[in-house]
Amino acid sequence: MNLLTNFNIIPLGEGFGFNDNILETNIINLAAVVGIVVFFVGKNFSILLENRQQTILNNLREADQRASEALEKYNQAKKQLELAEKKANEIRQEGTLKASQEKDNCYNQYKIDLARLEEYKQETLQFYQQKAFQQIYVSIVSRALGEVKQKFNKPLSDQFHATVNNFVIARLTEYNP
């Protein structure tokens, strides 16, 4: 048998040849490509996917850790803010209290100073009144002495003696021990 007779045994359209059905050809080609990809690339792709999965999981863990750290820092900052507000309120209340006390102290000191000034004024007035009375007294006494000296330098009249005697008698009659 020769080679040509062997080809005659194979019916046309069966075996290897050109397939003009596009759908069947695409399915066969796709199956072949998927098979080759799975066989050659499958392990590498699965390793790549596992690495990617680990990277994503690590990133998520780090993000969770950062989120918990941020939440902890937020809570600490919130506590510090509350403490600062509490301290500010205490300082404000203390300042108000001290200002009120200082105002009262200043007012009391003002009253004390005013009373002291009034006392000093009264003492000064008394001093100058006494000084004025003393000057007037000295002036009156010196004037009276001057007039007495003048009268003693003049001879005394009978009428003057009578007047002095009547005055002394009147005083003695008024005196009741």
For 63-95, the pLDDT digits (tens) are 999 999 999 999 999 999 999 999 999 999 999
> Would you say residue 151 has pLDDT above 50?
yes
Unique residue bearing structure tokens 């809570």 = 75
Q: Can you count the helices (H) and strands (E) in the chain?
A: 4, 0
Q: Mean pLDDT over residues 25-38, rounded?
A: 83
Q: What is the pLDDT of residue 48?
A: 82
Say whether pTM exceeds 0.95: no
pLDDT for 19 equals 62
Q: Average pLDDT of 151-155?
A: 73
Per-residue confidence at 45, pLDDT binned at 50, 70, 90? confident
Helices (H), 14-41: 22-36
Whether the pLDDT of residue 2 is over 60: the answer is no
pLDDT at 127: 92
pLDDT at residue 104, rounded to an integer: 93
pLDDT per residue as tens digits for the range 46-68: 788 889 999 999 999 999 999 99
- Tell me if 50 sits within 8 A of 44, measured CB to CB: no
The token duo for 54 is 């680990």
Share of the chain above pLDDT 90, in %: 45
Mean pLDDT across the chain: 84
- Which residues neighbour 25 within 8 Å (Cβ) at sequence distance 6 or greater? 19
> CA angle at residue 173 from 172 to 177, to 5 degrees?
75
pLDDT of residue 177: 66
